[in-house]
Structure 1
Amino acid sequence: MLSIWYDKIPDKTIIWYPKTTVPNPMVSRGSKVELIDGRGLVLTDPQGTVVWTSLGSSDIANGVMKDTGNFVIVENSLNKIWDCFDSPAHTLLPTQIMKKGGGLMSTMSETNYSDGRFQLRLLHDGNLVLSNVDMFSRDPLHAYYISVTFDPSNATNSGDQLIFDATGYMYILRGNGKRFDLTPRDKLPIGDYYHRATLDSDGVFTQYYHPKNSTDNTRPSESIGSGACGLNNVCKLVDKRPKCECPPGFSLLDSNDPNEDCIPDFTPICDKGYWGDLFDFTELTDIDWPGSDYANINPTTEEKCKRSCLEDCFCVVATYKDRQCWKKTLPLYNGINSSLNMKAFVKYRKGDGPLQSPCGFSEANKNQRSLISVGPVLLSAYMFVIFVLVGVICVSFFLLYKKKAKNTYPSSKAVDDNLPHFTYQELVKATNGFKVELGKGVSG
């Protein structure tokens, strides 16, 4: 893989790699990179196929690897043609600036550099956002962090650039020159530490530091965003890292990936037979899915909030705080677990009983009972019976048709009791080779 990395620390941390036309930047052994006039930096595979190019169009003088970690291509007049700081992958370094429209893409894991599930972008309206990404279209989905640096009434007060300056201080520079701090100033002097800010595979944008005179591992300094768990999942921070856990009534789509989507253990029903009194709630505290609200009732009481959700077949979860009620439907986005002082009511079918204790997800998950609707089971059994009956009817018709076909012409057995029968040789002898008429009519 073509890459740039920190070389003077034990962990040779990759800080840049090219964003190729395919999600995976890895190339086969025997690939090569060349600096070519009119084409820039060109990466080709062993068959000579171009995998990536910097697309420089001017006459190239040389390429320079700076001590900041920036690889720069310059022309004969020493003007910059291209540099890797303008095309970041998943990491920013001190002195690097991200302009509006720029962004970072997470990797799948710490060792798999394929495009991951999260994206950081500085939007054209001035907001810095973290969002999960559709794995098929690669389009950004709901944001789970927003810097709120967009001012619709005054464009100059909106964010203009994301700056990671030479001191290790990171901030959003507004159009009017004011700053929105993302990390503290002068906390870890860059003269003593190596710095980087990486959008990790778990969706957290983290600033790391490493002492220049130490062989210890790199440590996180500051982080932005709580990470983003999958749909219907709940995220909480543990030691500044996200931990995802399915809420009561839901199970992981992929049991090997705790950050994956959670799927309901019941079949949501919203038909004419729906009756709210068949359902009840499991109560949770300090849980919310702020991206899934479709209705807000204000002011109201807790009981009215629950009743409204019970009588609404689309409502899966209702949250209540300060006389306000928010009704939510599937899928549940951006689940968070923090000190919200909010109640969450997760609906379940009474016949199946509460799925889990609201005291904690982990212990409850051990005793989880699936809420599976009997509808699909009965439907499957019904279809099986129909299939068997149709098979029996088809076989019966076949046998009946076959019997009728055999009886279309009477066999010799049908007249055995009334008429004698002769062999072919006897008939030839009696008629002299069929020349003599033996008789006519019914009596021969």
Structure 2
Amino acid sequence: MQRFQFLSIHSIFLFFLFASSCVTAQQRQSNISLGSSLRPTTNSSWLSSSKLYAFGFYPRGNGYAFGIFLAGIPEKTVVWTVYRDDPPIPSNATLLLNTEGRLVLQSAQSQVTDIANQITGSASSASMLDSGNFVLYNSSGEIIWQSFDYPTDTILPTQRLLTGYELFSSVSETNPSTGKFRLKIHRDGNLIQYPTHTEDAPAYAYWSTGTGGRGDHVTLNLDVNGHLYLLNASGFNIWSITEGYPTGGILYLMRVDWDGILRLYSHNLRPNGTWSALWESSKNKCDPKGQCGINSFCFTNDKKTDCSCLPGFASVNQGNWTSGCERDFILESCSNGHGPVKVKIEQLEDTLWEDGSYLDLSETTKEDCQQACLEDCNCEAALFKSNDRKCRMQKLPLRFGKRDIGNGSKNFAFIKVGIASSDVNNEPRKEKKCLRTGLIITLSCVFGASILVFAACLIFIHGYQVWSNRIIAGNGNFRFCEDIAPVSFTFAEIEKLTDGFKEEIGKGSSSIVYKGIMMHCNKFVAVKKLEKVLAEGEREFLTEIKVIGRTHHKNLVRLLGYSFDGPNKVLVYEYMSNGSLADLLFTPEKQLNWIERMDIARDIARGILYLHSECRTQIIHCDIKPHNVLMDENRCAKIADFGLAKLLKPDQTNTFTGIRGTRGYVAPEWYRNLAVTVKTDVYSFGVVLLEIICCRRCMDQNFPDNQIVLQDWVCQCFDAGDLRQLVRNEEVDLKQLKRMIKVALWCILDEPSVRPSMKKVLLMLEGSVEIPIPPSSTSFVTSI
């Protein structure tokens, strides 16, 4: 609980007064007239008639904060805070209900901030009610604004949390700023807890009432007897979270505490009464996802939570686990050219993590999973569960780690760490001698066994080719249903799966896309007919197809097959049911919220990074734009057409003057006949990132002249220090907004060598590195 030392008011008096006023709490009030004011050090608060609640200033850090708190008990418990993420208020500030009917906070420099900026009309008076609700009235005595409609982390008796609204935890018991956890009531009636900076997805939820689908416009309610429950639009109780407790001299409140757990508290107003937690959403304090920072996991130690780094990692900021952990060694990249890196696998048992795998291996063993990660230079960690025998290969960072014991399944995390020189040079002599003896025996066995294995492989390959050819020549049960790709199809088979190219779902300057279905596995596909394909012959075309087909990443649209029958060149891709990013960004009724857009930006960056740095053959996309980012059924962003830069004629990759819809995304070097590098994609990504941030096209004639070119407008706003107008009235994290703008501005620098790599871009998007101020906006050149 947020507690501040405060002079006690006689508790006996409050007990009797509160006991007699519970029913009529909303009617009891203290009238506040226009022109009334408060100062932090003198007349600091307006009390309710029972003097239990106060609306005013209270100490915070080296200054003051402003909100509603319980003044009638020894511990000043804050229940509502205004502008909780702002710096402390100085002692010379004034809160004023001015003669214009506005409730404002006025600084010594006459800067005015509205406290009730959602008000309609002007206020004639105000009241601090005995319920803990601060209200503003118009001249007719009607409530035109009330604090109960805008809760922060606490719900008081008779208060409701409405559908779509959220409570956010505090940073700590003494810091009321927005913390790491939130509680949201969804339109379908489900009350769910999530980490703060995540989308509303089941993968991020860590507690819920499980009442989805039980009603519409559901509200969370708390009665004066501690009964916490959900009501639907017709007033029917669909779920009781608590059943209620004794009344009479007892105050209840519900709070999302700083540790992410939802609790119901009671306070006995008799002398020497204290706060007691009657109910909590979880007994395990490690359940809230994000208790510890990246690359660290939560565990309980003597009923207290603590965090521990992964093996081979050290805390970024000692004493502040929110910062997470980082490697205590340097792991070289796959393409360093310096030979194998000395690494080993450390095993971590009984921990759970967020699964962000780039590759899953099924039907494997713990030992095989460990070895697979060790041999894959892209793998930085692997997760293995004994119940499904699936190995999930991971890139760092790992998130939402916690100790998990006794759930019926054995969980392992295999972490790749560096080998110290002592590990290599100081092995016991006995062990080295055993190794030499074993090596002689092993080599003899391997030589004999290899001959048998080689012969068996030849027989298997021959049998598989015969079998697969029969499948293709038979009834059309296409092999990619078995997760083998890319597969060669005849043009007749392509016509069959598209029903004669019946349903067109997309069109570009070099291709038309049709929807198809594989009847054997009931799987939709996207079939792209290419034009202007390289005329180098079938062998070269198939070589490029195989290079692209070997790319496997969750943020790339997967190539499943192809057809190369004479003049007909066809590619078969997985089908993306939610269309393109352009559809979601530029269609008002489909627009995504800020958190969803930021997740999409990071998804795109991960996909481009894979193409640039993690493929066996480096791929430059050459046409990054929202139309080439497709969304799957879970709204995961996947880059499409990343292989067409290789497959199309040179006149389709050396210049984009003939491709409509791409003006504004093209890097300046295209027009200067300079070499095209991966930094070309970085530029295009920067433009797309600005579109994601602002939900508008990079060039739009519908805007005023100085805003037509998005890059120019963003530079103007950044130089002026006014980024809020870029997102209009949308509620966003302003610090995150500034960080994202800086990332985009670095990406669209005119000089390619100064732009960051995609790896650096991703680290900046994830908040893992500091972002310096980009060069002056005069360095930016818009490509039009």
TM-score range, shorter chain: 0.5 to 0.7
User: C-alpha separation between the residues in 1 aligned to 2:261 and 2:323?
Assistant: 15
User: C-alpha separation between the residues in 2 aligned to 1:328 and 1:214?
Assistant: 57
> Which letter maps to 1:332?
L
Aligned-pair CA distance for 1:190: 4.7
Alignment-derived partner of residue 404 in structure 2: 338
The structure in which a higher percent of residues are strand is: 1
Q: Is the 8 A contact 2:384 2:392 kept in 1?
A: yes
> Which letter maps to 1:179?
I
Counterparts of 1:281-292 in structure 2 under 5 Å?
281-292=345-356
Alignment-derived partner of residue 316 in structure 2: 253
Alignment-derived partner of residue 372 in structure 2: 308
Alignment-derived partner of residue 238 in structure 2: 179
Secondary structure of 2:368 counterpart: helix
Q: Is the 8 A contact 2:187 2:216 kept in 1?
A: no
Counterparts of 1:153-232 in structure 2 under 5 Å?
155-156=213-214, 160-173=218-231, 177=236, 179-180=238-239, 183-186=241-244, 188-215=245-272, 217-224=274-281, 226-227=287-288, 228-232=291-295
User: C-alpha separation between the residues in 1 aligned to 2:123 and 2:257?
Assistant: 35
Give CA deviations for 1:58-78 in whole Å, capped at 9, x if unaligned: 343432222221112222333
Aligned-pair CA distance for 1:265: 1.6
Secondary structure of 1:16 counterpart: strand
Of residues 42-51 and 168-177 in structure 1, the stretch that sits farther from structure 2 once superposed is: 168-177
Percent same amino acid among aligned pairs?
Answer: 28
Aligned-pair CA distance for 1:16: 0.9
Equivalent in 413, 418, 428 of residue 349 of structure 1: 418
Q: Is the 8 A contact 2:331 2:341 kept in 1?
A: no
> Which letter maps to 2:204?
A
TM-score, normalised by the number of residues in structure 1: 0.66
Q: Is the 8 A contact 1:204 1:223 kept in 2?
A: yes
User: C-alpha separation between the residues in 2 aligned to 1:210 and 1:175?
Assistant: 31
Aligned-pair CA distance for 1:145: 2.2
Alignment-derived partner of residue 115 in structure 1: 178
Gap change, CA 1:302 and 1:180, over 3 Å in 2: farther
Aligned-pair CA distance for 1:248: 1.9
User: C-alpha separation between the residues in 1 aligned to 2:195 and 2:94?
Assistant: 34
Aligned-pair CA distance for 1:42: 1.8
Q: Is the 8 A contact 1:38 1:57 kept in 2?
A: no
Q: Is the 8 A contact 2:268 2:274 kept in 1?
A: no
Structure 1, unpaired ranges of 5+: 355-444
Equivalent in 311, 315, 331 of residue 268 of structure 1: 331
Gap change, CA 1:144 and 1:237, over 3 Å in 2: farther
User: C-alpha separation between the residues in 1 aligned to 2:164 and 2:302?
Assistant: 31
Q: Kindly indicate whether residue 214 of structure 2 is the aligned counterpart of residue 145 of structure 1.
A: no
Aligned-pair CA distance for 1:9: 2.4
Q: Kindly indicate whether residue 123 of structure 2 is the aligned counterpart of residue 63 of structure 1.
A: no
Q: Kindly indicate whether residue 88 of structure 2 is the aligned counterpart of residue 26 of structure 1.
A: yes
Aligned-pair CA distance for 1:157: 5.1
Give CA deviations for 1:380-404 in whole Å, capped at 9, x if unaligned: xxxxxxxxxxxxxxxxxxxxxxxxx
Q: Is the 8 A contact 1:103 1:121 kept in 2?
A: yes
Alignment-derived partner of residue 344 in structure 2: 280
User: C-alpha separation between the residues in 1 aligned to 2:238 and 2:338?
Assistant: 54
Q: Is the 8 A contact 2:193 2:206 kept in 1?
A: yes
Equivalent in 320, 325, 337 of residue 384 of structure 2: 320
Aligned-pair CA distance for 1:330: 0.8
User: C-alpha separation between the residues in 2 aligned to 1:308 and 1:15?
Assistant: 52
TM-score, normalised by the number of residues in structure 2: 0.39
Alignment-derived partner of residue 96 in structure 1: 159
Q: Is the 8 A contact 2:224 2:251 kept in 1?
A: no
Secondary structure of 1:69 counterpart: coil
Number of residue-to-residue matches in the alignment: 343
Give CA deviations for 1:179-222 in whole Å, capped at 9, x if unaligned: 355x4322x43535322233333333333332222525423333
Give CA deviations for 1:6-40 in whole Å, capped at 9, x if unaligned: 123221111112126xx226311132222246544
User: C-alpha separation between the residues in 2 aligned to 1:214 and 1:329?
Assistant: 57
Tell me how large the CA RMSD over aligned residues is: 3.4
The structure in which a higher percent of residues are helix is: 2
Gap change, CA 1:205 and 1:343, over 3 Å in 2: same
Q: Is the 8 A contact 1:133 1:140 kept in 2?
A: no
User: C-alpha separation between the residues in 1 aligned to 2:340 and 2:233?
Assistant: 53
Q: Is the 8 A contact 1:25 1:113 kept in 2?
A: no
Equivalent in 147, 161, 169 of residue 84 of structure 1: 147
Aligned-pair CA distance for 1:164: 2.9
Q: Is the 8 A contact 2:214 2:238 kept in 1?
A: no
Give CA deviations for 1:254-293 in whole Å, capped at 9, x if unaligned: 1121343111222233314598895432222221112534
> Which letter maps to 1:166?
V
Which structure has the bigger radius of gyration? 1
User: C-alpha separation between the residues in 2 aligned to 1:325 and 1:173?
Assistant: 43
